[in-house]
Chains A and B, each alone.
Chain A
Amino acid sequence: MSTFFDVAHYDGQKAVKRKVEVQVVGPQFYVLENEHRSGPFAFADVEYVTKQGEADVYGLAGHDGWRLILSGPVPSDLKGLLPTPRRYGGWVDRLGLGKAVIAFALTSAAAVAVVLFSPQRLAPLIPDSVDDRLGDALVGDFGGRFCHTPAGDAALQKLVASLDAAPQDLRVEVANIDMLNAVALPGGNVILFDGLLKQARSPDEVAGVLAHEIGHVREKHVMQALLRQMGLAVVLGGVDGNSGAMVNNLLAMSYSRNAEAEADAHSMQALGNANISPVGTASFFDRLSQLDGSEGTVKGNVDITSYLSSHPLSASRKDAFEKSIVKGKNYKPALTPTEWTELKTMCAQDRKAKSGFGFDFN
């Protein structure tokens, strides 16, 4: 038993349009043109190609350019044998637009949530050796910009030891760069910039900032941020250009503020344990807060914009540090006056330390 349908046909070999009959025989069919018959072809190999006006165009797997063009309503006998037209693409067509939109939105939200929240869990699982190697690759000898004098090194060591229980896994250095900043990098690296030491009015201020950076190391914030950035780059990789980067930065920024608050808490704790007064750190933030919203430069051209942009408002931090003062407690200075002078002038004394950034050879 067989059924016949009239359709237009291209054989994919020549550009000649043919009027043909399709003869359906069970799951197979033949294409008949006058006395010429080609086939049999399996309906299973038929693919939906596209819609052209009112016509549905079908192709055949493995036959380049082979087309059946069915104009107008497709006879119901044939319709059941042909593949369904494609609209949005496989998954969306199967689910329907509304359900697909909801499913995609939920999946996307889940993916972003995983990328945002998993780094806190994952960062501690990264072996220290990886962290150390990354730190070495990134920091090295900082292009010879680290300052060293025997007395200055001793003062710095004393400060670190008073603030952390395991100072041997930390590598704290002073870099000969005139910026009001300090950074925590992978591998337990903490770098205090000389500009910060010059601006600081007491060793207690430096102790507060140093303890803050050590807090970043201990809370694994650097590795978390790295993982989060990589995850966001992958998840938002499909979003083009600027909007992706903007969302990425906004998310990263809100997380960096959280991390700063955690590091501040760590700092207050460490200062308390070391019996160092948080007053110095509070007054340091007080001075910074007066610069908030100003041009971002202090006398001596020390750039503080970089510090402000990634840190919570200095005024609120000042309040937090002030509140952590325990009245009646007998605080002692973080360093003796001699030690403080040695630390502060270490870069000025060390003639071998290079200054500035990579392209600055002065």
Chain B
Amino acid sequence: MNDEQLQPHSAFRFHGSWVEFARIAFPNLLLTIVTLGIYRFWATTREREYLWSKTDFIDERLEWTGRGMELFIGFIMVFLLIGLPFIVIQLVSQGLIFQGLPVLAGLLTFAMFLSLFYLTGVAYFRALRYRLSRTYWRGIRGGSDDPGFQYGLSYMWKWVVGWLPLFLMVPWAMISLWNDRWNAMSFGPHRFSANAQWTPLMKRYLLFYLVPFLFFGGAVIFGISMAASGGTPDALGDTGMAIGGILAVVAVLTLYIIIPLAALLFYSKYFRMAVGGLRLHTLEFAFRARAADWVLFFLANMAIIICTLGIGYIFMPYRNWKFFVEHMEAYGEINIDELTQSQTVVEKHGEGLLDAFDVGAI
């Protein structure tokens, strides 16, 4: 009786309006400025409260229960535990260079870089955990009991393996880490399972990877054929100039349009594969945005930011969330009676690390 049958295309719905969001975003901006940025933790919280509360999963709204103070404490922790030691290390290594010990200074800097690398991995993990533990649906929340320290190590070695063979294993690293992250998470009594495949990503990854080479190869072939036909752009006069102009346009197009486009093509597939491999008990998930949707989304974002001379930037959290929710899909059924409260630990601090490194969580 309490089983909820999921209709396709209806599991996640977003009812927000940008006018309502503006009433939150503009005071946020004002308060953030007059507090020299400190209010931004409370600003983020207010925005999430709004966005979550305007998001339906099946028949009930989501609820964001995170608090600004938690994010602030997370930030202070990062400042004391990482920021200050790193400033000291930087001063010390500068002193070492002055004193003629550049090797020691180099080692120290390398150690600093390694620990930052490790902490970035931990930060990704903990941010996801924090967000799940503060997201409630029907009074039930998610979370994880894993503190993410092990994940930090996986993050390091998997990225190194991804980069070593000339960056060819990057898709494997991305998918494998996504799976590691989500396999440690749960919602209510159920554990997520993530089995996303990385091999289907390779075609698009190679496309992205090869664009610069293809372009360079094309230019070389063009140059050779020009030389072979005995003509130089100079000798051809106007035609030569025109061809040179076309070449320049193609170069600019490649740099600013084709490479980002190829990257987006890859990323849209990555996100579809990653979400598609996700299960929660009897629920399966899908992300329906195709490459064209992503392209339109980014173009619209750029247009908004440019046309508003940058002020539109404050609407980006709204746009991102809307895009995410409108393309999320879930299939299967949930037994509401079986969905009991999560027993995972709840940390008192927010995503400080991730906030400090300025990276996104999902």
Question: What residues make up the interface of A, taking CB atoms closer than 8 Å to B?
Answer: 10-17, 49-53, 57, 59, 64-67, 87-89, 92, 97, 100-101, 104-105, 108, 111-112, 137-145, 233, 235-241, 244, 354, 357-359
Instruction: Annotate B96-115 by CB proximity to A: 1 below 8 A, 0 otherwise.
Output: 01111110010000000000
Given contacts A12-B140, A14-B341, A65-B341, 19 further A-B contacts (CB under 8 A): A15-B339, A16-B337, A50-B64, A52-B61, A57-B63, A59-B65, A66-B139, A88-B42, A89-B68, A104-B31, A111-B36, A137-B92, A139-B98, A142-B99, A143-B100, A144-B100, A239-B36, A358-B105, A359-B102
Q: Which among A100, A244, A357 has the highest number of chain B CB atoms within 10 Å?
A: A100
Question: What residues make up the interface of B, taking CB atoms closer than 8 Å to A?
Answer: 2, 15, 27, 30-31, 34-40, 42, 45-46, 49, 52-54, 60-61, 63-65, 68, 75, 79, 83, 87, 92, 94-95, 97-102, 105, 136-141, 188, 334, 336-337, 339-342, 346, 358
Contacts of A238 in B (CB 8 A): 35-38, 40, 75
Indicate which residue in A53, A67, A100 contacts B139 across the interface (CB closer than 8 Å): A67
A235 touches B36 (CB 8 A): yes
A50 touches B31 (CB 8 A): no
Do A239 and B31 form a contact, CB below 8 Å, given A65-B140, A88-B46? no
B34 touches A105 (CB 8 A): yes
5 closest cross-chain pairs (CB), A and B: A143-B100, A10-B139, A238-B37, A239-B37, A15-B339
B99 and chain A: residue at smallest CB distance:
A140
Contacts of B27 in A (CB 8 A): 88, 97
Indicate which residue in B75, B95, B140, B341 contacts A138 across the interface (CB closer than 8 Å): B95
Do A52 and B63 form a contact, CB below 8 Å, given A14-B339, A65-B141, A239-B37? yes
A50 touches B102 (CB 8 A): no
A145 and chain B: residue at smallest CB distance:
B100
B83 and chain A: residue at smallest CB distance:
A237
A11 and chain B: residue at smallest CB distance:
B139
A50→B75 CA distance, assembly (Å): 24
B96 and chain A: residue at smallest CB distance:
A358
Indicate which residue in B31, B52, B336, B340 contacts A100 across the interface (CB closer than 8 Å): B31
Q: Which among B36, B102, B188, B339 has the highest number of chain A CB atoms within 10 Å?
A: B36
Contacts of A67 in B (CB 8 A): 136, 139
B136 touches A65 (CB 8 A): yes
Contacts of B54 in A (CB 8 A): 53
Contacts of B336 in A (CB 8 A): 14-16
A240 touches B141 (CB 8 A): no
Minimum CB–CB distance for A7 against chain B, Å: 13
A12→B42 CA distance, assembly (Å): 26
Do A244 and B37 form a contact, CB below 8 Å, given A13-B340, A359-B102? yes
Q: Which among A13, A52, A233 has the highest number of chain B CB atoms within 10 Å?
A: A52
B341 touches A52 (CB 8 A): no
